[in-house]
Structure 1
Amino acid sequence: MIIDVHAHAGPWFFATEVGAVELNLALMDRYGIDRQIVSASEAVTYDMVSGNRWMAQRLAEQPRLLGYLVVNPNELAEAENELARHLPGGRFAGIKVHTTYPGHSLMSKPVRDALGLAARAKLPVLIHTWDDSVLGLVDVLEQHEELRVIAGHMGGPAWRTAVEAACRSDRLYLEPCCSITDRDRFRYALDRVPVEQMLFGTDSTLVDPAIALGVVAAAKMTESEYEHVMWRNAAKLFGIDEVAA
C-alpha cells in the first residue's frame, strides 16, 4: 500500500502535463499509489475560494483522493468560512498552507496565524518549506498542542535543518518530494528522525512520482521502515481506513 501525502490537481503554470484529476489517477495507477491527498493548484496560486470549491467537486467524484483545504495567510477570515463550508463533507483530510505565492516567509505573522487556524481545526497541515526557517516550526508547535505539521519538501535545500527540527518535535513530519535530489538525504533523515514521523509525498502532478519513488528506493529501507513511510504513518495521521485504502 502507498499513500501519497503531497500532490496537486488542476492547471499549473509549470511546463508539465497538468490539469484534470484523471492525470493524478493515471499516475497513481502507473506507480501503484493507492490513496493521494491533493490540493487545488488554483487555490494555492490564485483564488482560495474557487480552487477549494473545484477541489470539493472533484473529491466527491474520486474516492481514491482526499483533499487539503488551502488556507491563504492573506485571507484568514475567509479561510475560517472555508473551513465551516467544506470540512463537514469529510473529504478534506488536512490543510495546505503555501508561503511563496501568498508572499510571506514561513515565520511571518500571517503564516503563523494560519498554522494557529489549522491547530484549532485539529487537522494536519502541509506547509511549503524551503530554507533554514523550517527550524522555527518547532516553536510554533510548542505554542499549539493540537498542531501537527508536515514540512513539505523536507526543507528543500535545507533538509539537514528540517531533520534537526523533526528531531526536536514529535509533531513535525517530513516527506521527500523535491527537485533537490541530494544523495542519501532521505537515508540521513531516516537514521535520525523517529520513523513514525516520516511520510511519502511526490508533488504529483507537478513532478513525476518516479523521482520521489527513486529517492525512497535509494534509501534502502527495511521492511518496517517502508511500511511506516509509505502508508502506515499517513493512515494514522489523516485517519485513513487501512482497509478502504
Structure 2
Amino acid sequence: MIIDVHAHWGPWFFTMDVAGANLSAMNRFGIGLSIVSATEAVIYDAPAGNRALAAWLETQPRHLGYVTVNPRRPADAERDLRAYLPTGRFVGVKIHTDYTGSPVSSPQTREALAMVAQAGVPALVHTWGATVLDLAQACLDTPGLRVIAGHMGADGYAHAIEAANACDRLFLEPCYSHAPAGRVARVAAAVDPARLLFGTDSTLIDPASAFGAVAAAGLDAETAELVAWRNAARLFGLDITA
C-alpha cells in the first residue's frame, strides 16, 4: 500500500498535458490512494477549485481531497471548510504560501493555520529553504495544529531536520523537482520515522522522482512501510490496512 499525500488534480499553466494522469500514474507506481488539491484552487481561485474538486471526488474512490485555503481570503476559507470537510471526501487543508503571497510567518497565514487547527485536520503547507523553520514555530505557537512541510524545505532539507525535531506535530514529505544525493537518507536518519510521509507532487512532477529519491535512501523495511502509508493513515485517520 502507498499513500501519496502531495498530489494534484487539474491542468497546470505550464506547457504539459496532465489530462487523466492521476490514475495512470498511480497504477504505474502502485499508489493506492492520493490526497489531492485542485490546481485551480492553488494557483487561481480557491473557492472555484474546491467546488470543482468536490464534484470530481464523488466518483473517485482512490482519491481524497485537500480544501485549499487562501490566507488572504479568510471568509472564503471558513465557508469552504464548513462546506467540504463534513463530506468525508476532504481530509485536510492545502496552503501554498508563494502563490498567495502569504509567508508562513505572516499574520494572514498564522490566522489561517489557527482556523485549520480548530477544524481538527492536518495542513499541507508549501515550504522552501528556511521557511520550514517558520512553519515549525507556527505549529509550536498554535495548540493542536498538525502540519506537513511540503517538499520538506526542498533545498533547505537541513532546516527540515531542525524543524521536525523542534515540533512533534510537524511532518515531512520529500517531493522536489531536483534530486540531491543523500537528501532523503540524511533526513530519515535524523528525525523520528513516525514523522515521515510520502508525496510525489503529481501531476506537476512525475512520481518517478519521489520514488527514486526514497529508494536511493535505502530505508529499512519498517521505516519504508511507515513512510509508504502507515504514518499517513494515522495522521489523516484513515481506516486502511496493507
With normalisation by structure 2, the TM-score equals 0.97
Unaligned 5+ segments in structure 2 are none
Aligned partner of 1:141 in structure 2 is 139
Establish whether residue 240 from structure 1 lines up as the match of residue 242 from structure 2: no
Q: CA deviation at 1:180?
A: 2.5
**2-structure distance, mates of 1:50, 1:171:** 30
- Equivalent residues in 2 for 1:154-169, closer than 5 Å: 154-169=152-167
**SS of the counterpart of 1:191?**
helix
Supply the RMSD in Å over aligned alpha carbons. Answer: 1.0
Aligned partner of 1:17 in structure 2 is 17
**2-structure distance, mates of 1:65, 1:75:** 26
Aligned partner of 1:93 in structure 2 is 91
Of residues 76, 98, 108, the one that matches 2:74 is 76
**2-structure distance, mates of 1:133, 1:95:** 18
Aligned partner of 1:67 in structure 2 is 65
**2-structure distance, mates of 1:165, 1:131:** 11
Identity of aligned residues (%): 51
Q: CA deviation at 1:136?
A: 1.7
Aligned partner of 1:58 in structure 2 is 56
Q: Bigger CA drift: 234-243 or 28-37?
A: 234-243
Counterpart amino acid of residue 64 in structure 2: L
Unaligned 5+ segments in structure 1 are none
Which string of whole-angstrom CA distances, capped at 9 and with x for unpartnered residues, describes residues 35-86 of structure 1? Answer: 0000000000111111000110111110110000000011011110111111
Counterpart amino acid of residue 150 in structure 1: I
Counterpart amino acid of residue 150 in structure 2: G
Aligned length: 242
With normalisation by structure 1, the TM-score equals 0.96
Which string of whole-angstrom CA distances, capped at 9 and with x for unpartnered residues, describes residues 70-112 of structure 1? Answer: 0001101111011111111110010000011111222111111
Of residues 122, 139, 147, the one that matches 1:124 is 122
Of residues 150, 153, 161, the one that matches 1:152 is 150
